[in-house]
Structure 1
């Protein structure tokens, strides 16, 4: 009985450690170990480890795995600051960089809008296949871009800012103010989909942060950590974080489209009957939720 229990316990621990080894934290510390061994030599630590008793070797391995797991938990606490950094909420001393990035985003928004207007003069059926695909892509880009006076300095920030504005533009409901109330009334299935999308976005921000931290191994002489960290951060941002932000923003917009009526019903607020009235009533409801009158 005890043998089966120990086998079961060992199997569970093995699964947990296997999951730990597949985390960005393990890659970070593995890179750090390679950097340290490369600078101070490989043979001496290996010989020292091999000379230790078996129980001490096991204790060292367990301690290393605990360090990896603990660092993973600590960095996970910085998911939100990392995501805010990717959105473009930067410290005031980065204001010159923010202004430069905002100018770049404004130029991109203007360029996309001008080209879309140029193609929109024709019916989609009249356009060649390539220009029709370009028009569709430009239309998609505009949908995930906020108003010119609400631009953020990064593409990811603009995607999420546009999602916040959609409910205000269409229904007069400020997503920042109304979201916490609406969330409490959503069906479990909708909540699960939103949580999955947000977890994917947070995971992308976390991996990006680990990539930036990986560059720090340059300080111990690992020059190769710089290009690897930069490459990982760029790939994570452009091919993971932005895609995750699009999915999350689309779900937020769809949630307001389909379930905003729950706010009116729960607050015993008169539900509007046409789009023009809804924007006005939605603004009143937002004001009530924020200020109480």
Structure 2
């Protein structure tokens, strides 16, 4: 609630797209099916118009407050909702079994895509052949090039390491692919280092990353709420065959929103790579360590930082070990002055 009252334009836009509008969609569906009596029998849609005309300011205010209240309650669970769509289902036995089945399906898809990329292209055309034969060969070559490009684009949504890194959903694989291709190319744990490198990015690049993340969260939230509306309308309208286009449309919009979340995840992954390419040394500087002078020193430093980031309780000795492994002591600019009261005096 405090974020809603004190947010700026960017934060307010995120609250509207990620929390308020999707929640209002579900609340409006519940109100429509309840007022029309769809849960207790056949729907009386004409009951909606008089009720809407008689709606006073108090009813509208109550509805808005209810939507805001539900949005505030659901906001802390946004990360969990996205992770559920990513396919982290190992905490429950039935979902874990389903995850194994879907991972095997993605492994087969990756194998087919790799085979498509490796297929040799047919000859473009033979100038000595008749015109019709040359045109047919040119069309066949164009189709093969387009198929290979589509396979490469879809293959880029999967982690490029081993197949055991796959997740059961396309969204999860797209995000994991971004993690593998961003910090882990340089030896940094992306999940733990990202909150520390994002403040070092330029305002333009940080704004692009936040916009892509907001688009991902908004589409993920809309996907879940459209799915909820589809299930709710299917329960309410199961005895009215002529109105079953409502749940069908809701499920279709849920699929569209999920596809939008995948597209946003791919864009987000590209921005992640750019941030690590340009600002990983700024993160090292922000942590008050000297810059590594070689790739070997950089790798050793990042391995130590990964261990440092993952520790819940870190002592001063462990902080010294990070720099000590590359011969660079942990040193702030003010430490020398604290050690020597006369430092810097004439």
TM, length-normalised to structure 1: 0.77
More displaced, 161-170 or 283-292? 283-292
- Using a 3 Å threshold, how does the CA distance of structure 1 residues 264 and 66 change in structure 2: closer, same or farther? closer
Match of residue 260, structure 1, among 280, 303, 311: 280
* Greater C-alpha Rg: 2
Aligned to 2:306: 286
8 Å contact kept, 2:26–2:229 = yes
TM-superposed deviation, 1:84: 0.5
**TM-superposed deviation, 1:181:** 1.7
Task: Provide the residue aligned with 1:13 in structure 2.
Answer: none
C-alpha contact (below 8 Å) 2:281/2:291 kept by paired residues: no
* TM-score, normalisation: structure 2: 0.66
Task: Confirm whether residue 197 of structure 1 aligns to residue 195 of structure 2.
Answer: no
Relative distance call for 1:43 and 1:253 in structure 2 (3 A) is: closer
Corresponding residue of 2:158: 145
Contact 1:75 1:206 in 2 (8 A): no
Task: Please say if 1:98 is aligned against 2:99.
Answer: yes
Residue 208 of structure 1 deviates from its aligned partner by 1.1
Name the Cα RMSD after superposition. Answer: 3.3
Q: CA 1:62–1:219 in 2, change beyond 3 Å: closer, same or farther?
A: same
Partner residue of 1:228?
249
Cα 1:44–1:176, aligned 2, differ >3 Å: closer, same or farther?
A: closer
Residue 107 of structure 1, CA deviation: 0.5
Corresponding residue of 1:182 = 197
**Closer, same or farther: CA 48–247 of 1 in aligned 2, 3 Å:** closer
C-alpha distance in structure 2 between counterparts of 1:43 and 1:195, whole Å: 44
Match of 1:23 among 21, 24, 39: 21
* Distance (Å, rounded) in 1 between the aligned partners of 2:103 and 2:151: 20
Matched position secondary structure for 1:78: helix
Measure, in 1, the Cα distance between the counterparts of 2:271 and 2:207: 11
Unaligned runs of 5+ in 1: 1-18
- Which ranges of 4 or more aligned residues in structure 1 deviate by more than 6 Å? 43-50
* Bigger fraction of residues in helix: 1
Q: 1:178 to 1:290 in 2, by over 3 A?
A: same
Counterparts of 1:1-293 in structure 2 under 5 Å? 23-36=21-34, 37-39=36-38, 41=44, 57-90=56-89, 91-93=91-93, 94-119=95-120, 128-146=141-159, 147=161, 148-167=163-182, 169-218=184-233, 221-223=236-238, 224=244, 226-238=247-259, 240-266=260-286, 267-274=288-295, 278-279=298-299, 281-291=301-311, 292=318, 293=321
Instruction: Check the 8 A contact 1:76/1:206 in 2, yes or no.
Output: no
Relative contact order: is structure 1 or structure 2 higher (C-alpha 8 Å, sep ≥ 6)? 1
Output the CA distance in 2 between the equivalents of 1:29 and 1:259: 43
Change (3 A) 1:59 1:220: farther
SS of the residue corresponding to residue 106 of structure 1 reads helix
Matched residues in 1 for 2:52 and 2:200: separation?
A: 57
Match of 2:129 in 1: none
1-side partners of 2:210 and 2:29: how far apart?
32
Structure 1 residues 272 and 229 mapped into 2: Cα distance closer, same or farther (>3 Å)?
farther
Where does structure 2 lack aligned partners over 5 or more consecutive residues?
Answer: 1-15, 124-137, 239-243, 312-317, 322-346
Structure 1: how far apart are the matches of 2:284 and 2:52?
A: 67
